[in-house]
Amino acid sequence: MRIVLLGPQGAGKGTQAQRISRETGAKHISTGDLVRAEIKSGSELGQTIKDYNDRGDLVPDEIIVEMMKPYLDEADSWILDGFPRNGSQAEALDKMLAEISAGLDAAVALEAPDDLLVERLSGRRTSEATGNIYHVEYDPPPGDPEEDPGPFVQREDDREEAIRHRLKIYHEQTEPLKHYYADRGILVQVDATQPITEVTAEIREAVEGTGGRV
């Protein structure tokens, strides 16, 4: 399986990628996680990209492509979460796929209205121990520390101002990619306002319909 997950911030790309990866063994490649890990490492690159992340701006394309490329090369079954995010990254992805003679099974667009997304992101918590994503109300962290010891923290960029800014960039730069993939006949649109397990089932069913092994 090789799929791209598109969708606005809070639509559930990370949540769905983690679940499908656990269920199928496909590698979950999240450029947002790569960015946060680099920042946490305290490296020079991490310091350079921290301001972009905290403001909710996109990190420059050439930096993101260099960061994610090795992960793409090392697995044949993967779910891309947060990449590509604009036309230039979509073209870079096509080029990388051509180099390894691989194609995309589907581009899955998770659809949800902005107001719901702000509410979801305000309640998001991520486990520092496992990286698992939760929501205080819709998908609370487990009470059993054996399952996930936490702590469960809020992301730096989950402030309302940064969320609205990220959504604006999404509508301007990322949403047009739906046409890019629709023109190739591989766009699948999924209603992301449904409960988490139903969204997972719909993605798997839709990708199977495209011939992708999920």
Strands (E), 59-153: 78-81, 106-111, 124-127, 133-135, 152-153
Q: At its nearest, how many Å lie between ligand AP5 and the CB of residue 21? A: 12
**Is 120 an annotated catalytic residue?**
no
CA 48/CA 59 separation, integer angstroms: 9
Q: In this structure, what token pair is assigned to residue 108?
A: 């899955």
Residues 6+ apart with CB under 8 A from 59: 35, 49, 52, 53
133 vs 187 by CB, closer to ligand AP5: 133
Q: Name the catalytic one among 27, 50, 166, 204.
A: 166
| Contact partners, residue 156, CB within 8 Å, separation at least 6 | 53, 54
Distance CA 191, CA 184 (A): 21
112 versus 211: smaller Cβ distance to ligand AP5:
112
> How many residues are given for the chain?
214
Active site residue 13: yes
Q: How far is the CB of 211 from ligand AP5 (least distance, A)?
A: 25
Task: Rule CB under 6 A: choose which of 2, 7, 104, 181 binds ligand AP5.
Answer: 7
Stretch that binds ligand AP5, among 21-29, 175-183, 189-197, 203-211 (CB under 6 A): 189-197
**Which SS3 state, helix, strand or coil, does residue 71 take?**
helix
| Catalytic annotation present for 85 | yes
Of 1 and 135, nearer to ligand AP5 (C-beta) is 135
d(CA 84, CA 40): 23
Give the number of other Cβ atoms within 10 Å of residue 79's Cβ.
26
- Which element (helix H / strand E) includes 187? strand 187-191
The answer to whether residue 50 is catalytic is no
The piece of 8-16, 90-98, 142-150, 181-189 that touches ligand AP5 (CB under 6 A) is 8-16
Q: Scanning residues 20 to 79, which ones bind ligand AP5 (CB under 6 A)?
A: 31-32, 35, 52-53, 56-59, 64
The yes or no reply on residue 13 touching ligand AP5 (CB under 6 A) is yes
Residue 120 touching ligand AP5 (CB under 6 A): yes
In angstroms, what is the C-alpha Rg of the chain? Answer: 16
Tell me the residue nearest to ligand AP5 as measured from the CB. Answer: 32
Which residues are near ligand AP5 by CB under 6 A? 7, 9-15, 31-32, 35, 52-53, 56-59, 64, 82-83, 85, 89, 120-121, 123-124, 133-135, 138-139, 157, 166, 192, 194-196, 199
Catalytic residues: 13, 85, 124, 155, 166
